[in-house]
A = this chain, B = another copy of it.
Amino acid sequence: MDTPGTDFTCADPGYVERVRGSFERQTVMGTFGIALVDVAPGRVVLEMPHRADLTQQHGFLHAGVVSTALDSACGYAAFSLMPADAAVLTIEFKVNLVAPARGPVFRFEGTVIKPGRTITVVEGRAIERGDKGERLVATMTATVMTVLGRVGIHH
């Protein structure tokens, strides 16, 4: 059966550079201090430190900020498997928030569950690393589209 995040083949041998290049054009990644720490076939890992200016009313990272990092991790995990001339478009995602995002450091993992010619399904995990070790903070399931030969796509 399909084993998540393993044995995927990248159509484009230059997938690492392609993912890094697109990631660097996502201005919000720099604004939030999110770094791309790993790219593998069908899998991308991002990291960021806690940021007081990105918090909700109790001082935890806002769920939308966690979703920003998870969406990029998932989108680029799918993008790594796409042809060199494809654009990536997130159609939808669902996030479960399972613990307060305290930090001080967060890791965001995107792993392709099911690649497809048009539609790829990706799973995301947000994990915080603190005094007591690692803890799951949020999960994402994202549906990502491969867009070919269109000029004006949006993602």
Q: Could you mark each residue 1-43 of chain A with 1 if its beta carbon is under 8 Å from any beta carbon of chain B, else 0?
A: 1100000000000000000001101111001000000000000
Q: How many residues of A contact B (CB 8 A)?
A: 59
Number of copies: 4
> Nearest-CB distance from A82 to chain B (Å)?
14
A65 at the interface (CB under 8 A from B): yes
- Majority DSSP secondary structure for residues of A touching B: mixed
Q: Are A26 and B1 in contact (CB under 8 A)?
A: no
Quick one: which of B23, B113, B134 contacts A98, CB cutoff 8 A?
A: B113
CA distance A64 to B60 in the complex (A): 16
User: Judging by beta carbons under 8 Å apart, are A52 and B64 in contact?
Assistant: no
- Chain B residues lying within 8 Å of A119, measured Cβ to Cβ, are 91, 145
Q: A28-B53, A53-B31 are in contact. Are A68 and B64 (CB under 8 A)?
A: yes
Min Cβ gap A115→B in Å is 10
A28 and B96: CB pair below 8 A? Answer: no
* Contact residues of A between 60 and 107, Cβ < 8 Å to B: 60, 62-65, 67-72, 89-101
| A55–B68 CB distance below 8 A | no
Whether the pair A90, B94 counts as a contact (CB closer than 8 A) is no
Given contacts A27-B52, A64-B68, A68-B64, whether A141 and B99 have CB atoms under 8 Å apart is no
Chain A positions 94 through 129: 1 when the CB is less than 8 Å from some CB of chain B, otherwise 0: 111111110000000000011010110101000100
**Shortest beta-carbon contacts, A-B, top 3:** A64-B68, A100-B154, A1-B134
